[in-house]
Structure formats: C-alpha cells, structure tokens
C-alpha cells in the first residue's frame, strides 16, 4: 500500500479489511445493505465513501465513522492540492491595511 496521504479509502477497505478477512465486495455489500456496485466501485477506487457508507462500514467492521470520513477527507484534500497546487501557491495571505478597507 502507498505510504502517503493520497491513499484512496477503497484501497484501505480492500487491502486492510476485505483481503485479510476473506470478504468479497458482494458479501460486504449484502451484509451492510447497499448495492453491490457501490462497494465494487469503492474498492476499485472509482467512488468515494459517503457518510452513509461510513456509518455502515464502521458498524460492520468495528471501526469509527470518523476513520472512514478522515480517509476520504485526506484523499480529497490531497487530490485538490495536486490539481490546483500552482493556483493555491500563488494566493497571498490577507493582511489588513488601515488605508485599504474592504467595502461591505
């Protein structure tokens, strides 16, 4: 597994849970009452984890909801930074200047 913040939650689900537990995406989907394509797309890293899916995974796998949501948030932040890195770096921090008041 990659060792950086770009890890897709689907990779974690696949490598850290499904494989070691001998679970298939079909079994997981059926057991947590979601459509099979949802889990299939997550483990193929084609879809993110929603709050609904995080709630179900946490209950079934004995994790916290925040574990899954943090993985998703970290992945999205990494992707956003990678996509807009130059634009983000060109932004200057706001510094209030007494001569330069913003209009409301």
pTM for the model: 0.80
Measured between alpha carbons, how far is residue 57 from residues 4, 39, 40, 93, 102 in Å? Answer: 23, 10, 14, 39, 47
74 in a domain, yes or no? yes
* pLDDT at residue 9 is higher than 70: yes
Q: Which domain does 47 fall in, by range?
A: 9-83
| CATH, residue 52 | 1.10.260.40
31 in a domain, yes or no? yes
Mean pLDDT of 2-7: 63
33 in a domain, yes or no? yes
Average confidence score pLDDT of the chain: 92
Distance of alpha carbon 101 from the chain centroid: 39
93 in a domain, yes or no? no
Range of weakest confidence among 32-36, 55-59, 67-71, 86-90: 86-90
When pLDDT is cut at 50, 70 and 90, the band that residue 20 belongs to is very high
Question: How far is the C-alpha of 77 from the C-alpha of 70, rounded, in Å?
Answer: 10
When pLDDT is cut at 50, 70 and 90, the band that residue 82 belongs to is confident
């Amino acid at each position: 597994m990659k060792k950086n913040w770009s890890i897709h939650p689907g990779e974690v689900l696949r490598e850290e849970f499904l494989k070691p537990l001998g679970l298939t995406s079909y079994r997981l989907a059926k057991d947590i009452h979601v459509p099979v394509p949802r889990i299939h797309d997550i483990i193929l890293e084609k879809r993110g984890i929603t709050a609904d899916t995080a709630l179900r995974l946490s209950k079934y796998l004995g994790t916290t909801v925040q574990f899954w949501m943090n993985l998703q948030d970290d992945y999205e932040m990494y992707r956003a930074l990678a996509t807009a890195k130059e634009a983000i770096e060109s932004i200057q921090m706001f510094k209030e200047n007494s001569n330069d008041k913003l209009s409301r």
